[in-house]
Structure formats: C-alpha cells, structure tokens
Amino acid sequence: MTKKQRAAAAIEILKQRYPQAVCSLEAEQPLQLLIATRLSAQCTDARVNMVTPALFARFPTLDAFAEATPEEVGGYIRSCGLYQTKARDIVAMCIMLRDEFGGVLPDTVEGLTRLPGVGRKTANLVCGDVFGKPAVVADTHCIRITGRLGLTDGTKDPLSVERQLRRVLPPQESNAFCHRIVLFGREVCTARAPKCGQCPLAEICPSCGKVSAAQTKR
C-alpha cells in the first residue's frame, strides 16, 4: 500500500467515524478564530472555549483589541498559559491588521504568518476554516498520528510534516482530515496509551500494537 493509498483509506474510515469535521474552537467571526487559535498554543481547546466568551464580549471588534493594552487582554486569558506573551501578540496582530491590512484578514499562509505570534499551524487553520482553502494543520495530534500511520517519515518538525502531507492528501480533503485527526487523537490514538485494539485504522496502520508494546518494555 502506498502512502497515497493509505491516506485515502484513512480519510474514508475517519469520515465514517467522525462525520462532522469541525474545529473544536468556538468562534463567531474570523478574527475570533484567529485569536482563539493563538490562545490554544500549549493549552487545551476546552480551556480556550471557557475563556473566550468573556474576552470577546469585552473586546468585540478589531479596533477594541487594537486599542487595548496587553495587560487588559492578559487579565482575561490568564488561565491559558503564557498569557503575557499571548496578550502582547493579540494586541500587536490586531494593530497590524488595522494599520497594514485595512482591517481585512489575509487569506494566505504567507500573509497570516506576517502577523505577530501567528505560525503556520494557526495560518493553515484560518485558511482552511475561514477561506475554504486546502490546509494542513500540523498540530501535535497530526504530527504523532500521521507518523504512526507512515504518512510521514516520523519527523516532529511541523513544516516538514505539512509538506509531506500535502504530497499524499487530496487538497479537497486535507482540512477536514486534520480536524478528524484531532478527534481521533483524543479518543483513540492517544500519545501515551493508544487504543490499538479499538482502532478503526488498525488494518492499515504499520504501528498498530507496537507503540504500547514499546512503552511497556521501558
């Protein structure tokens, strides 16, 4: 089975398991999704979703964020971890969006990554979910699971994973596949104790049964 064949099989199996391939971050506007994704770094989506309602109520527009101080924003996101850095990035990105982009969110990875604190993971998610473009969100779940599936060479480098996956995933499926991988990673193919005996991908996964066995020997 080639990588493209394995990828195609995984896509179809995960479609059956998770028909609704949606981002678990809650946002009503593109700017809110951008900010929520920035907050999700080294933080759970569930925690971000607890924090953002009050944050977005206090700062409902781009201008409101751009005119805020990092200290003001930080007070609302303290529980997300690294909140001071994230607050500075959020204010700075909103100032840049207002002053350099005319208040319009860029629709390319290259444009989005010009914004303070925005890396390729965040940029890809926004491009896929907001603009409907082919996207590969190489987060920790994606990196771990695609490596186990043999769709990538096992590297932990997000950019390398993204490039390798773009070669094997059909562009029209890549964004939804990455969302489903997150759900699958939380439920089945966890980092420390993958449930290989319950895995719908077991028949096509070259790592099936090997991760748990290797950890047991340590």
Active-site amino acid positions: 121, 139
Measured on CA atoms in the order 18, 24, 28, 34, is the torsion positive or negative?
negative
SS3 track for 12-81:
HHHHHHCCCCCCCCCCCCHHHHHHHHHHCCCCCHHHHHHHHHHHHHHCCCHHHHHCCCHHHHHHHHHHHC
In sequence order, which residues have a C-beta less than 8 Å from that of residue 140 and are 6 or more positions away?
A: 185, 191
Structure token digits, residue 80? 């997300």
Question: Residue 188 and residue 198: Cα distance in Å, rounded?
Answer: 7
Question: Residue 212 and residue 200: Cα distance in Å, rounded?
Answer: 16
Cβ atoms of 188 and 205 within 8 Å: the answer is no
Question: Residue 175 and residue 30: Cα distance in Å, rounded?
Answer: 16
